[in-house]
Structure 1
Amino acid sequence: MSLTPAIHALLPLSEEKSSMLTSLLDGLDTAALHWLSGYAAGLAVRRPAELHVLPTPAAAAQNAPILSIVYGSQTGNSRHLAEQLKREAEASGLGVRLLRAGEYPLRELKNERLLYLIISTQGDGDPPDDARSLVEHLLSKRAPELKQLSFAVLALGDSSYPKFCETGRLLDERLAALGATRALPRVDCDLDFERDGKPWLIRALNSAREQLKPVAAVASIKTLRSVTGTAVFGRDNPFRAEVLASQRITGRDAQKDVRHIELSLADSGLTYSPGDALGVWPQNPPQLVNELLQTLKLDGASEVEFEGRRLPLARWLSGEREITRLARPFLATHAAHAGSSELNRLLAPASRDELAPLLRDYQVIDVLRQWPALWSGEELIASLRRLTPRLYSIASSQKLVGDEVHLTLGTIDYQAFGSRHVGAASNFLATLDEDGRAPVYVEANERFRLPVDASRDILMIGPGTGIAPFRAFVQERTAINASGRNWLFFGEQHFASQFLYQLEWQEALKKGQLHRLDLAFSRDQAQKIYVQQRLREQGREVWDWLENGAHLYVCGDATRMAPDVHTALREIVIEHGGKSSEDADDYLARLSQQNRYARDVY
């Protein structure tokens, strides 16, 4: 291996050190290179402190087997767990590589020896977008025999959906059917994924240590002097962001209450890119907490101990436990408490279709009222799911707004079963006064990024609050003087009361920052019109844009809108591209693999 003078000039090393690096790398196999990469990354993480490093002979890493960790994530939870496992494996001296499912080289599957899959299920049974190609390959006839493979699957999902952790289950069963051996039984995690996920990580690491021979002389890194730095804010350590503005941006007569919210990130050190999400840790509505306590005749001031923590019951229900969303485990426990044959029947596999509306529409209070039962405070807290953060697509570019972050928030507020129902996070944010504070963190979304080449055109499809990231996209492209064109498809119910950011879009059109805008207001005429119909109407130009290298983005409802838009795109490819149905599917799949068709759906 040799480096040209031009490459030497680009390295942040002296010529002497570059030559030493070249000599070290010469002859190393893939396993050794992976190990060396992880080792160097570990040093970089610790570099702010003064380090004493005991070097490991390069020969010890040669021919070492590799642990491959592959994750598929829609909201970042699988990625967080996968990154944690990688760090622990590297610290144990194991050769390890971490790959997003969409980037996994499928041709290498037949040569894998140890593979850990950490994968979520989106909605009711769908794989995350970045894992579709991997899932389709494994479930197809093209999948190879995998008798040499040892594997384990950690599945993430939401038990309020009937097909809970479906993607992980399918992959676990398919890998076994292809001849692979389970290193560990599959574990299914609910939205409070840490409870079951972190113990799985410990078992997975121990299993990997048994199967792979750690590098004999693992480098020892000792911190000789600690360095005080600024706090790093994240999911487990959120920043309390001050509310700068909170404004309703739908008309008073609109059925939907949509808010534009601006939060300050000053002094947080938090940064974000267009396409990222803001995680918000909510507080449950006080009125709902009181109703639960009254219904169960429990004292909110009484202290309850759970998992080593002791808090008043009202505090558990306000900020620690999920009470606006139902989970199947709670229903099962409540069915036993209530002695309800009806609930037990609904929970049976044969009643999956009947159970779905209950999981979707009911809150905990509705179940307690319809099927009364006695609960102690300790039993209730142990049975309820942990409160989890909500993710909102960021509606601003930091190049324009600086130390702020903007959200487009649709509030959940409706009447059902004789009482008012509100969402935990949307009610929490919408009722915060200016100068109030919200615990937040940034959740990176690498799957939903603007093209690196700013001359590329982009098509953005974002009905309702799905418009949020596209406000950020246009702001960003304006700030960097991108030469590519911007085409937005937006839809809502009524033009007069629900055209979100109307003045901003009209101004962007005048200034040439937005080049095309197609609108669909479903209830302004007798026949409902949706964004997918506007896509079909402009099918020839949509096809031309795609064929000329445009990137396509979809944001919004995953249940109906996203599948309908995908169907419309498929029809456009068939009609205007002259392709068969199968070729149209392959065309859209290739766009996705090339990161030219990205979805942020929920």
Structure 2
Amino acid sequence: MTKRVLFQIHWFLGITAGLVLALMGVTGASMSFEDEINKALSPRLYAPGVPTGPDLSPDRLIARLQADNPGYYVSRLDWETARVRSHGVRLTAVEGRSRRQGQVDRATGRWLGEPAGAGFFQMADDLHRWLALPGGSNGIGRQITGISALSLIFFALSGLYLRWPRRALDWRAWLVLDLRKTGRNLWRNLHVVVGTWVLLFYLLSAFTGLWWSYDWYRRGVTYALTGKARGEEGARAKKSGIAPRPAIDPAWAAFRRETGDSYAWVRITQPAPAQPMKTINFEARRGDARHLRQTDRFSYDPKTAALKTRDLYDRRPLGKIITQSMFELHRGAFFGLPGRIVILMTSLTMPLFTVTGFLLYLSRRRRKREAKALEADALPAGEAGDLLIAYASQTGTAEIRARNAAQALGRGGVRARVIAVGKLTPEMLAATQRALFVVSTYGDGEPPDMARGFTARMMHGAAPDLRRLHYGVLALGDREYADFCGYGRAVDAWLAGAGAQPLFPMVVMGHDDAEAEAAWAAALHGLGAGEAMRGQAALPFEEWTLVAREALNPDSPAQTAYHLRFEPPAGGAMDWAAGDIVEVRPRNAPEDVEVLLGAQVADGELMERAALSREQLMDVMLPPDDVPRPLPVREYSAASIPADGTLDLVVRQVRHADGRLGIGSGWLTAHLPVGSTTKLRVRPNPGFRVAGDEWAPMILIGNGTGIAGLRAHLRAAAHEGSKGHWLLFGERSRAHERFFDAELSGWLADGTLARLDRCYSRDADCGRYVQDLLAEAGEAVAEWIDAGATILVCGSLEGMAQGVHAALVRALGEDRVDRLAEEGRYKRDIY
């Protein structure tokens, strides 16, 4: 919860204060070497050469300047010891806030002018300090920059907390920038890694920048560092006229006698004419000083020219040095030239965080919009429409097709309401005149989990009177099962038995079924659907690169399971959610193709019957028929989230009786070289997603390669800072199949997992399956469900899923399990 709140504040401040901080960073960087740039632009202004006449004394120089500039007084004279250089002067208006700053001839007092870059740097200073808004240092601009400085402190500290890696002692996790990533993952990598590089320097800039934003902050820091309170600055006595102005020359002569030419630069300051000059102060800096505020201070009695105080920099307490050197700390000069360069570079990176932060924000908004796109063109649940579309989906395909149908109908002016079959009631159906049912068959003729309650209540109960209803059915299934589209056929028969009238013959659809696709499109068109339907499931396959493949159980007597990681093509999107499904187009083993070609050559046929090239043979069933059939698409659970930077799979090798590897597992685990590409796409699976904005506790249950889907959910939870989940997982042996053990232990340690139960079916001291763990923990499961938990099951259909379902029914009751499925709190991704 804490992490989520911090994240929300982090991005909200980022999109409000980010632009101000970017501007402050650029302007601050531009002023880092202001003196050096001005001297480079106007070299003769600062070093006009040794004058022919003697230097004017401070009093004569000040008198000449004030006579030549009526209405101004010399508030600051920067005396250069080297005679080749001119003196710096600040002239301040007696009335108002106007001022002039430039160089003067040391021998004549003639005004030489301002440096060429003075106007630019004045504007940069105004933008940096108060955004050049009206009111100057007393206006709203100062408050905005102050709040932005506070925001920068929050960004640095909250960003550190939010990105804290699981392996906190691994310096690579903190500091290595992975430029192989693309899109949103590259932006996030730049944001967090570069942010870690500059974190300390941003904190330094922000904490010192507040010195000029808030008087209370300045007083507090001064008291904390020196033990002395500091009064309000800038307050001037409301006096009129001109206070007596003592001569400076006697004190200046005493200062020069005492110090000689040991100082390269001396600053002489004067208060406003109406303010009394109680002491004559000289601030002197040696030529080898590390920064501009590394000065010694001398105070003289204006009447006697006697030295009153000598305040040497090297003898000051550290707290006093810091308070007197706040500007040099702010620009990094306190640490010499390296410090200035570092602050320059870190200031220039400030726009990077604004840009990447905005890109991440927009990407996050886009992902939320796309997550809601499945509901885009459907009517709200409480509104009636021209037509009702009910779906029963296990892996999300039926739901996507139902919502695509609603979109298509909407383009033709037909208002469609989309609803899960679990929410249908007899009264709702009896009052409906036209309805479409888009239903998947799960396994061998079974209803999807979300349709179990509907099936028990309505299809196996008393038949309602549906004589007013006209309906259509799209039945989805897999032709590899004997009872192909069995549940869809059952729904069609039930509707007909209740007196409903068909709008069109039932459409049964398998994978890559062009004929059924055409029949479904024609049926929708006949109901008034518009043209150019955009199918949300019809994402193109893209060439993803296999960048890593690691055996998870290399020495196990069982079939080897592999952890594979893929990167998208250049410019490709890393956009999916935990629970989604990865569809892979496998290819044949190259050696199998060569064997077939060799056999055909030996027979003299030369593949004349199919007339296929070697490349074409890689993508069809072998041996090919007269009409070659493409290799079937294989589906796997995504085992990672986009923030990981790669799309991960967990694939176990499958071997046939003759020793050949399975089509999909063989291609991914053996035949596809690391570094090569293969065609895949990610398909949304609403039926196994959880609402990331809510993050109720999850009870994650699975076995074998089912760790993939469960791992993705846990990684999403850890990424969002969601704690307190429960994993029950089963495998063969403790010695070989402790998949992702380090990650699971880390999540248990940091609280992402509140409980971790594992079992190993082939170990003599265990010999249990995950459903046995669940049966033993039945009371705890009921307590978690009462507290709002969601159950997620991922793994094998045979054995595990059936056993887990039976254990849940025993612990919770069949009616409650059905209700959980309808409510989206019992989700399964099983195969």
Mapping for residues 103-142 of structure 1, pairs under 5 Å: 104=424, 107-142=427-462
Q: Distance in 1 between matches of 2:485 and 2:418?
A: 22
Determine the structure 1 residue equivalent to 2:725: 486
Conserved? CA contact 2:394–2:828, under 8 Å: no
* One-letter amino acid of the structure 1 residue matched with residue 816 of structure 2: Y
Determine the structure 1 residue equivalent to 2:101: none
Alignment of 1:559 with 2:788, yes or no, is: no
* 1:290-313 superposed Cα distances (whole Å, 9 cap, x missing partner): 666788969565474xxxxxx726
Determine the structure 1 residue equivalent to 2:49: none
* One-letter amino acid of the structure 2 residue matched with residue 585 of structure 1: E
Conserved? CA contact 2:449–2:818, under 8 Å: no
Q: Distance in 2 between matches of 1:196 and 1:150?
A: 24
Q: Distance in 1 between matches of 2:493 and 2:596?
A: 41
Determine the structure 2 residue equivalent to 1:358: none
Conserved? CA contact 1:254–1:498, under 8 Å: no
Determine the structure 2 residue equivalent to 1:356: none
Conserved? CA contact 1:397–1:472, under 8 Å: yes
Conserved? CA contact 2:597–2:607, under 8 Å: no
Alignment of 1:240 with 2:543, yes or no, is: yes
* One-letter amino acid of the structure 1 residue matched with residue 587 of structure 2: Q
Q: How far apart are residue 425 of structure 1 and its match?
A: 1.7
Q: Distance in 1 between matches of 2:617 and 2:679?
A: 17
Q: Distance in 1 between matches of 2:729 and 2:678?
A: 29
Please point out which of 561, 581, 600 is paired with 1:258.
561
Alignment of 1:379 with 2:626, yes or no, is: yes
Determine the structure 2 residue equivalent to 1:570: 809
Conserved? CA contact 2:574–2:642, under 8 Å: no
Q: Mean alpha-carbon deviation: is it higher for 441-450 or for 82-91? A: 82-91
Determine the structure 1 residue equivalent to 2:587: 283
Q: Distance in 2 between matches of 1:110 and 1:508?
A: 50
Mapping for residues 351-430 of structure 1, pairs under 5 Å: 379-381=626-628, 384=629, 386-399=630-643, 401-402=644-645, 404-414=646-656, 416=657, 419-430=658-669
Please point out which of 436, 445, 448 is paired with 2:685.
445
Identity in percent: 30
Q: How far apart are residue 164 of structure 1 and its match?
A: 1.4
* 1:487-537 superposed Cα distances (whole Å, 9 cap, x missing partner): 111111111111111122122222322221111100111873101111122
Rate the CA distance shift 1:160–1:87 in 2: closer, same or farther, 3 A.
Answer: same
* One-letter amino acid of the structure 2 residue matched with residue 312 of structure 1: L
Alignment of 1:201 with 2:520, yes or no, is: yes
Please point out which of 436, 447, 451 is paired with 2:676.
436
* One-letter amino acid of the structure 2 residue matched with residue 259 of structure 1: Y
Mapping for residues 16-415 of structure 1, pairs under 5 Å: 66-102=386-422, 104=424, 107-193=427-513, 195-209=514-528, 235-265=538-568, 267-289=571-593, 299=605, 301-302=607-608, 304=610, 312=612, 317-319=617-619, 321-322=620-621, 379-381=626-628, 384=629, 386-399=630-643, 401-402=644-645, 404-414=646-656
The alignment's TM-score, normalised by the length of structure 1, stands at: 0.68
Please point out which of 446, 456, 478 is paired with 2:696.
456
Q: Distance in 2 between matches of 1:102 and 1:388?
A: 31
* One-letter amino acid of the structure 1 residue matched with residue 785 of structure 2: L
Rate the CA distance shift 1:270–1:389 in 2: closer, same or farther, 3 A.
Answer: farther
Conserved? CA contact 1:555–1:599, under 8 Å: yes
Alignment of 1:549 with 2:788, yes or no, is: yes
Q: Distance in 1 between matches of 2:788 and 2:384?
A: 42
**Aligned pairs, how many?**
447
Q: How far apart are residue 551 of structure 1 and its match?
A: 1.2
SS at match of 1:245: strand
| Bigger CA radius of gyration | 2
Q: Distance in 2 between matches of 1:292 and 1:72?
A: 43
Determine the structure 2 residue equivalent to 1:370: none
Conserved? CA contact 1:233–1:270, under 8 Å: no
Q: Distance in 2 between matches of 1:454 and 1:233?
A: 25
Determine the structure 2 residue equivalent to 1:532: 771
Rate the CA distance shift 1:76–1:592 in 2: closer, same or farther, 3 A.
Answer: closer
Rate the CA distance shift 1:292–1:556 in 2: closer, same or farther, 3 A.
Answer: farther
Q: Distance in 2 between matches of 1:246 and 1:77?
A: 29
Q: Distance in 2 between matches of 1:79 and 1:450?
A: 15
Rate the CA distance shift 1:454–1:282 in 2: closer, same or farther, 3 A.
Answer: same
Q: Distance in 1 between matches of 2:593 and 2:801?
A: 35
Q: Distance in 1 between matches of 2:661 and 2:639?
A: 23
Rate the CA distance shift 1:380–1:294 in 2: closer, same or farther, 3 A.
Answer: farther
Rate the CA distance shift 1:508–1:167 in 2: closer, same or farther, 3 A.
Answer: same
Q: Mean alpha-carbon deviation: is it higher for 238-247 or for 426-435? A: 426-435
Q: Distance in 2 between matches of 1:299 and 1:315?
A: 18
Rate the CA distance shift 1:512–1:83 in 2: closer, same or farther, 3 A.
Answer: closer
Rate the CA distance shift 1:154–1:247 in 2: closer, same or farther, 3 A.
Answer: same
What are structure 2's unaligned runs of at least 5 residues? 1-372, 378-382
* One-letter amino acid of the structure 2 residue matched with residue 599 of structure 1: R
Q: How far apart are residue 181 of structure 1 and its match?
A: 1.0
* One-letter amino acid of the structure 2 residue matched with residue 282 of structure 1: P
Q: How far apart are residue 132 of structure 1 and its match?
A: 2.7
Q: Mean alpha-carbon deviation: is it higher for 93-102 or for 510-519? A: 93-102
* One-letter amino acid of the structure 2 residue matched with residue 466 of structure 1: G
* 1:66-91 superposed Cα distances (whole Å, 9 cap, x missing partner): 12233323334434543443333223
Determine the structure 2 residue equivalent to 1:510: 749
What are structure 1's unaligned runs of at least 5 residues? 1-40, 46-62, 222-231, 305-310, 324-364, 366-376, 574-583
Q: Distance in 1 between matches of 2:434 and 2:781?
A: 43
Q: How far apart are residue 205 of structure 1 and its match?
A: 2.2
The alignment's TM-score, normalised by the length of structure 2, stands at: 0.50
SS at match of 1:495: coil
SS at match of 1:498: coil
Q: How far apart are residue 138 of structure 1 and its match?
A: 3.6
Q: Distance in 1 between matches of 2:762 and 2:577?
A: 35
Alignment of 1:589 with 2:795, yes or no, is: no
Conserved? CA contact 1:121–1:167, under 8 Å: yes
* 1:159-193 superposed Cα distances (whole Å, 9 cap, x missing partner): 22221110011111111000011122223223323
* One-letter amino acid of the structure 1 residue matched with residue 706 of structure 2: G
Rate the CA distance shift 1:561–1:94 in 2: closer, same or farther, 3 A.
Answer: same
